[in-house]
Structure 1
Amino acid sequence: MPNQGVIGGFYRVSEWIMRLAYINILWILFTIIGLIFLGFMPATVAMFTIIRKWLMGEEDTPIFKLFLTTYKKEFIKVNLLGLIMFAIGYILYIDLQFLSQVSGMLQYILTAGLIIIGFFFLIMVVYIIPVYVHYDLKFFQYLRHSILIGFLSPLMTLVLGATLLIAYYLFMFIPGLIPVFGASVFGFISMGSAYFAFKRLGTRKQNSQELKETAQ
């Protein structure tokens, strides 16, 4: 029985390794098909959609079919979202360059403001794709909800940031892993952490609603 348990655990780990490698290959392939710039966002959304299914216990999901369907369905919408994110990031970059031309107290004030805005933007970048694949919202609500959820789950946001940083240094230490697991591991960490935050927020909201109903 112990041997069976070890063998079973090894098989389980091997299965997850193969899954992550497979969706990473799909992500690279469909990103290239979209000429990199136009393929990045839909391929990433497709990958996160599959990871979300796995986290929900739907491990028998047909991977290629769901990836292709999601990629085509979300291609235009998610590229528009990506364009907005890129525009915001570019504006922040221009503002950062402008700061070098300013001096005195004004520089400190503008720098503080830019750091705060940059922090909000960073949270939005981390949560935007998980929010997009998990919730059905109006277009611009995805931007607001990604920031809101990040601030409502500060501990999970810190854990997410730390885990992504560890994964980054691991890949820098072993760069040969990047073509095989680079995108999928980051996707699994991001979607896994965000999904846990979504569930906690949902439970908190449900408990709050039940307390209100009891009080009434």
Structure 2
Amino acid sequence: MKFGDVLLNFCEWIWRFMILNFLWVIFMVSGGVVLGIMPSTVATFYILRKWVQGNFDIPIFKTFKDVYKKEFINSNKCGFAFLAFDLTILYKMEALYSTVLYIIVMTVLFFVSISFMFFFPLYVHFEQNNKEYIKNSFIIALSSPFQTLLILIGLYILSYIVKGNLGLVLFFFMVIPGYLIMHVSNKKFKHIQRSM
């Protein structure tokens, strides 16, 4: 492959990521942020999944808008379920004075955060009901230490790069970490489907 082709391919990926991140921000804000973040993130992961699977010909704006509208209510239900669980844990933490209980609760909170990270790839990859999405994202988080570690290392490296170049945040805040999570999750899902 010639250098010009590599450069062109790289520029196409940068452009795709910028457009998708822009759509994520616009649609999140149009949903009033609180109600817009879940469907906007689901739509972003839907498109990232298509790209990870090699489908680059999908119309980005139309696909994003269609998924956003279709998943607006359902994704928000899941988001509020996660939020309610987190708030319950945080509320109980205020009453904890024991170091052991504090460590246990912080561990649970960590796994809730990790399972939330796997929720979006799971949501766009499988057809399930809301309870199964939430339950299975917990199961995948607990049963995938290697994938979780890989994602966390990748996110740490990305945050280190961005820390020195804050201008990148505006263009790639959601999409590049999302692509990393979707890429790792997609391999895990293929393994799960083969073993079924």
Residue 140 of structure 2, aligned match among 142, 149, 163: 149
Please state how far the C-alpha of 1:109 moved relative to its aligned partner: 3.3
Say if 2:59 is the partner of 1:62.
yes
Correspondence for 1:22: 19
Gaps of 5+ in 2: none
Residue 202 of structure 1, aligned match among 190, 193, 196: 193
Answer yes or no: is the 8 Å Cα contact 2:115–2:140 preserved in 1: no
Between Structure 1 and Structure 2, whose CA radius of gyration is higher? 1
Please state how far the C-alpha of 1:49 moved relative to its aligned partner: 0.2
Please state how far the C-alpha of 1:169 moved relative to its aligned partner: 2.3
SS at match of 2:26: helix
Say if 2:19 is the partner of 1:8.
no
Give the alignment's TM-score, normalised by structure 1. Answer: 0.86
Say if 2:28 is the partner of 1:37.
no
Correspondence for 1:97: 94
What whole-Å deviation, never above 9, does each CA across 1:39-81 have from its counterpart, x for those lacking one?
0010000010001001111110111111000000000000111
Letter paired with 1:35: G
Correspondence for 1:51: 48
Please state how far the C-alpha of 1:154 moved relative to its aligned partner: 1.8
Please state how far the C-alpha of 1:86 moved relative to its aligned partner: 1.2
CA distance in 2, matches of 1:195, 1:186: 14
SS at match of 1:38: coil
Q: How many residues align?
A: 196
Say if 2:163 is the partner of 1:191.
no
Change (3 A) 1:96 1:171: farther
Correspondence for 2:85: 88
What whole-Å deviation, never above 9, does each CA across 1:113-145 have from its counterpart, x for those lacking one?
213322321221110111111110111001111
Gaps of 5+ in 1: 207-216
SS at match of 1:174: coil
CA distance in 1, matches of 2:95, 2:13: 47
Letter paired with 1:64: F
CA distance in 1, matches of 2:14, 2:193: 30
SS at match of 1:140: helix
Correspondence for 1:214: none
Residue 130 of structure 2, aligned match among 135, 139, 144: 139
Give the alignment's TM-score, normalised by structure 2. Answer: 0.94
CA distance in 2, matches of 1:179, 1:96: 34
Q: CA RMSD in A?
A: 1.4
Moved over 6 A (4+): none
